[in-house]
Each structure stands twice: as structure tokens, then as C-alpha cells.
Structure 1
Amino acid sequence: MMENKQILIAQNDHSVKDDIDKLIYALQQYNLVYNYNFLYFSNKFLDPQTQKINYKHPDGWIYNDGGNGAQISLDGETCRIVTSYDQNPTMTFKQALHEFPRWKSILLGKPVTAKVHLSLSNNCDLSVTLSDGIASSCKHFQGEEAGDYIVELHLDINATAEKLYIEIKSTSISAVIKITKAYANLGNIAIENLPCIVNGFIGERKQYISTEIPPATELSLCEESVELSDSYSRLNSVLNNKFGTGKNGNSLLPDMRGYFSRAWDNDSTTDPDAANRTALGKGNVSGDHVGTVEEDQYKQHDHQLKFNINGQVIGGTSAPSTIINITSGSKTEKSGGAETRGKNISELYTIKWS
């Protein structure tokens, strides 16, 4: 009996050690999900007609439901989605987790575990999927009762995978889905409070004085405007076509070459012409909004010309005449260069994508 007990203890010790090793490994990883708790909604705006905040999608996420009655919003601390009331609706809410430099050397052949915290307020058909395009881990809800759920998914990433994404999908009519958080990391344990693999904010603009080459996690804004490829879906969700849309339907990067930056006026009237600001490039935003443009100009003014029109010229036997003709206009001589500017230093402007 003593011998059997010692063997059992040894087996338990081995199991505990395995669990500790898994935990230690997971604690050394990063959260692959950007904006995992939906703090950032840069696309929300105040509707001037209803005076209510409208939402499009949280930063980093791709939301699709073109049907009638479809809604997405921030409800307290949760992302609230209402599917459309059309027949045969399909709502998808997903994020690409592989969008960072050298992701293949980090993810391929490795285990990834994810957790999604969600709440269903009515019966609905729903699926939560972690997929690399070759294999997937999926949890299906088919007419599940209302309630709170924590879905855990585990996937060994295929060695030849070209992507990794997490997706929530529903085909139910007028389903109400609340998602509190979604996180994923390398290893066999998903940990919520890991630092995100994106260090900073996607869409953040940066500037450099000593290089003309952007870092690997940023794209240059000092080049001709180009369309984002499908590899930048998280940045695309932030830009949301503010600076125009390319032929493939993705956002155009803004072309900031030669521009100075100015703080958003936001109805302060410090910028007296804010209402007349125009869109940058092929953008669709004008007026007193972030990302709009003003062309250079002088502030309206005049110059005093110092001369005396009371003097007279004596022309021999002719009648005296004034020095100048005050009925015709005159101009000062041209001076200056090609534009109005202050002293400045040229810098590289970039935008963060990962």
C-alpha cells in the first residue's frame, strides 16, 4: 500500500509541474488580440441630428452585418451587437491576430489558446472560432439559453498557415450578443492581463528626425497615397476610409508630404476658417474635423504707403500738378518666396499598424 501511495504522489507531482510549466510559458507571452476589451472606438461620432453617439466598430475589429436593424455599440464595458431582422441574416465580428512583423517565425507550429467572454440575452445560433485557414477550433451555440458564457478555444497553428483569426458569427434574427473581452496567446492557457503584442495604439501618428525609413511596425505617410493591402485589416478598421477608398475597397493612407500639423479646432474659433477645411486627397471628411486640410494664405491686411499727396510740381508756365495720381491703384514690389512658412525642420511622419 505504501509503495502504491508513493507512486500516486509522484504522478500528482508530475501533473502539477506540467501545469506550472504551462502557466510560466503562457505568462511570458503577449496578448495577440488588439483592443481585447473594446476600450477604443475611434469611429464613434455624435450624430448632429439626433445628438446621439453612433458607433461603427471598435478599433482593430472587422464587423459585417448589412441587414436592416443591425447595430453595434458600446454598452457599459461591453461591445453590444444586435443582428439584423432580415431573413437569413449573417453577422460576423472578427480580428486578424497575425498582423505583426515576423509573425510566422513566432506562431507557426505553436499552440494558441483563446478565451471569449460573452452574454446572450435570448436564444440564438452562434459560433466562436479560432482558425488558421487550415484547421480551426470552434464552439457552436445552437438555441442556447440566455446567459453568460466563457468560451475557450485551443489550436495548434499549422506550419504552413497564412493567417490566424478569431471570429464570432451568428445567423439568428435580432439576436443580442454582448462581448466583454476576447484574448489569446501562445501556450495552453489563455491569460487575460498579458501585455498586448501591439505596443501603443494602431493608427497613432509618429515622427522621426534622424531617418527616412519607418520602423517595421509603422508605415510612411511621406509617400504618395496608397491603398492598404488585406494584411493591414486592423489599421484599415481605424482609418475606416477617412482618406479615401482604393479599388479593392480598403482605406487609402493619407499623403502628408510637406504639410504642417495643426491641433483640431473643435469649435473653439481659434481657426476662423475651420468650417471651410477640405478633405485630404481622396478623403470624405471635410469641415471642422480631424484629418482635414487648409491651403496656405495670408491673413487679410493692408500696408500704409508713406507719401504726401499735397506737394506740388511747378511746371514752368503750366498750372501746378500733384505728385501722384490718386485715382489709380498702385502696388508694392514683390518680395518673399513660394510660400508663407515659419522656420522648420523636415521630419518623417509615420502611422502605426502593429
Structure 2
Amino acid sequence: MKTFDNKGYIDEHLYALQQRNLIYNHDFRYFSNQIEFNYGIPDGWCYEDKGANGSINFDKNTERCIIKKSGGNSLMTFKQALHEFPRWKQMLLEKVISVKVVLNLSIAGDVSMTLSDGIDSNTIVKNGIGDFEVEVELKVNKAAKSVWITISSSAPSIVIAISKVYGNVGLIAIENLPCIVQGIIGERKQYIATKNPPAEELSLCQAPVELSNDYSRLNSVINNRFGKGQNGNSMLIDMRGYFSRAWNNGAKVDPDATNRKPPGTGTIEGDHVSTFEQDIFLKHDHELGFSIDKTILMGDKSSTTIINTASTSKTKETADGKETRPKNIAELYTIKWA
């Protein structure tokens, strides 16, 4: 049986971590906003085309991410941060990273695959028609602040069909490694025994904050659903004190679904995920019943009592609390970013 001292155990642990795919959504299976808002960018990826008529979509038949470059010589970039997970520096600094891009070009033109850490970079350019598998490597600088894989082109109207992008620490990119992200970026979690979120999650039980540039993958998933901050990044939703409710999705269970309000400073309203409703009471009456089983006698010195059952009466106010609520337990809500 193998035994390790403290340093040996740490080295073995880091080695196991390194055998992970650094690319989140490497085969483009996740599109959180694709249908609802026609947002064709796959989760975790950043896409920009400064020209006119550029587009990005997913072809379900070929299972490829299809990028149609705009006309003209403006630059199109399609990229992902590889460093967005806790303790990435311990794993990546001064290590060789290998990334493979599997793509098809139907129109000839230069397409660049670049690995960059903000200090050093390595680029491979392909030009031709047909299927390509391009592998690019980079030794990450010990002073690196980030690591990115970028696919870019300035070729007018070129069509880039990308099947997969995967990479890991090592000299060869291996496709079948488990992803460094365990779970789905953007999923909400909850905890009963702590007020502090795990390192790979952010608290939703705080005043709403704008995501920093270090959360580009989560930003691509949220896509300003809860509003946009001053720096142009997505806001997080403030869930403090709220109950959750399953999405109505056209059912008649939530009669006010079409009137649901935008979350935070967002613009999404109506019967959509993440919209909210104010608390309300179901409109109802408290009926008051009367019965007279004795004749009211009136003398010349007695008062007369009249009960008018047709007039409106009120029940007494209850004084138990400030809201209507079921029995509940407070939990920490979080959102996953890595």
C-alpha cells in the first residue's frame, strides 16, 4: 500500500486534479438561454463579433457550434477562461497546458487558435476547407493572472463549425477526462449548517452585487438575467428571505404568472424562470351568519334591538404576526461558478 508524507500527499492530490478537462462545456451541450432569449452562445463561452451580420448557433443535427463570421475584416473571438476555479494557480502556474480544437471550415480563411496567460501566448493558424484537429500548447508563466483559449478570425463571412474543445495539464490533450467543474455552472444550491458558501459557489443571500471579470463563465450563463452592473457584467440575484416556487410554464396553477415582475434590475417579466411575485392574499369574504330564535319584546320603556342581516359587517383583526407563512427553516442559497 502506498503511503505519503504531507508533501507527497499534496503532490498526488494535485496530480489527480491535473487529470481534468479544463474546458467547461467542451462539446457545447449546455445552452441555458438559447431557446428563451435566442441567446446562441454556449454556456461558459464568450463570443464577440464587432462586424455586422455575424451569428452563432448550435446545429442539433451535426452537434456543432456554428459561427458565421460577419462580412468585412473585423475580428471575431470565441473564447473561454481556463483559470476560473479555486486554487488554479497551484495547478496551472509553470505547467504545460495542451488544448485541442476539433472544427470544420467550409470557406477558406485564416482561423487562429491561441493559448494565452496574459504574458506569454502560443497561436496556431489554419487556412483551408475540411475537417481539422488543432492542438496548441503553452507553458503558463509563473506570474500569470489568467489563462484563456481563444478561437478567432478576421476572414469575411467565414463559417467555423466547432465540434469540441478540450484540454488539460500535460503534453497531450485528452478528450475523455472528467471536467474540472463538478456539476453545472449556474445551478443553485442550498445549505443548512453554514453561512459561508464553498469556494466554487457565491452567496445569493446578500445585497445584489455585480460579477467581476473573474467570473466570465457564470456571466455567460446568467446573461444579465438579473440586471447589468456598471461595468457591463451580470448582477447576482438577491434571494434573502424569499421562498422558491416551481416555474408555472403555462399551467393554470399560478393565476398571476403573466404579471410576474423582473428580478432585481433585470428586464425579464411574465411567466419565466427567476421572475418574482409580491406576497398577496386570495380574495375572499368572511361570511357572518345570524339567527334569531326568540321574539324581541318591546315595551314602552325598553330599547329596541334591530339586527340588519343585509348590511356589511367586519370580523376582528388577528394579531399573530406581520406575514402569512408556512413553517420554515432559513437556508443559505448559493450559485455555482466553477
Contact kept? 1:218, 1:352, Cα under 8 Å: yes
Q: What pairs with 1:51-200 in structure 2 (closer than 5 Å)?
A: 54-76=38-60, 77-85=63-71, 87-141=72-126, 144-200=127-183
1:342 aligned to 321, 326, 330, which one?
A: 326
Identify the residue that residue 3 of structure 1 maps to in structure 2: none
Q: By how many angstroms is 1:173 displaced? A: 1.5
Report SS of the residue matched to 1:278.
coil
Cα RMSD, aligned residues only: 2.0
Is 1:30 the counterpart of 2:20 in the alignment?
yes
Fraction of identical pairs, as percent? 57
Q: By how many angstroms is 1:55 displaced? A: 3.5
1:283 to 1:309, Cα distance in 2 relative to 1, 3 A: farther
Contact kept? 1:26, 1:185, Cα under 8 Å: no
* Superimposed CA distance per residue, residues 79-137 of structure 1 (whole angstroms, 9 cap, x where no aligned partner): 0010112x322211000000011111111011111100011110122211011111111
Cα distance between partner residues in 2 of 1:26 and 1:133: 26
Specify every segment of 5 or more residues in structure 1 that has no aligned partner in the other structure, as ranges. Answer: 1-24, 48-53
Specify every segment of 5 or more residues in structure 2 that has no aligned partner in the other structure, as ranges. Answer: 1-14
Q: What pairs with 1:189-268 in structure 2 (closer than 5 Å)?
A: 189-268=172-251
Report SS of the residue matched to 2:89.
helix
Q: By how many angstroms is 1:323 displaced? A: 2.9
The residue type paired with residue 150 of structure 2 is E
Identify the residue that residue 10 of structure 1 maps to in structure 2: none
Report SS of the residue matched to 2:110.
strand
* Superimposed CA distance per residue, residues 210-231 of structure 1 (whole angstroms, 9 cap, x where no aligned partner): 1111000000000000000000
Report SS of the residue matched to 1:257.
coil
Contact kept? 2:288, 2:313, Cα under 8 Å: no
Q: By how many angstroms is 1:298 displaced? A: 1.4
Identify the residue that residue 6 of structure 2 maps to in structure 1: none
Report SS of the residue matched to 1:45.
helix
Contact kept? 1:208, 1:349, Cα under 8 Å: yes
Count of residue pairs the alignment pairs up:
321
Contact kept? 2:18, 2:168, Cα under 8 Å: no
Contact kept? 2:21, 2:166, Cα under 8 Å: yes
The worse-fitting range, judged by mean Cα deviation, of 229-238 and 307-316 is: 307-316
**Scaled by the length of structure 1, what TM-score is found?**
0.86
Cα distance between partner residues in 2 of 1:66 and 1:306: 72
Contact kept? 1:80, 1:177, Cα under 8 Å: yes
Contact kept? 1:312, 1:320, Cα under 8 Å: no
Cα distance between partner residues in 1 of 2:293 and 2:124: 95
Contact kept? 2:17, 2:180, Cα under 8 Å: no
The residue type paired with residue 96 of structure 1 is A
Identify the residue that residue 305 of structure 1 maps to in structure 2: 288
Cα distance between partner residues in 1 of 2:265 and 2:77: 29
The worse-fitting range, judged by mean Cα deviation, of 297-306 and 189-198 is: 297-306
Cα distance between partner residues in 2 of 1:65 and 1:137: 22
Give every structure 1 segment of 4 or more consecutive aligned residues whose post-TM-superposition deviation is greater than 6 Å. 309-312
Q: By how many angstroms is 1:296 displaced? A: 1.1
Q: By how many angstroms is 1:351 displaced? A: 0.3
Identify the residue that residue 32 of structure 2 maps to in structure 1: 42
1:237 to 1:305, Cα distance in 2 relative to 1, 3 A: same
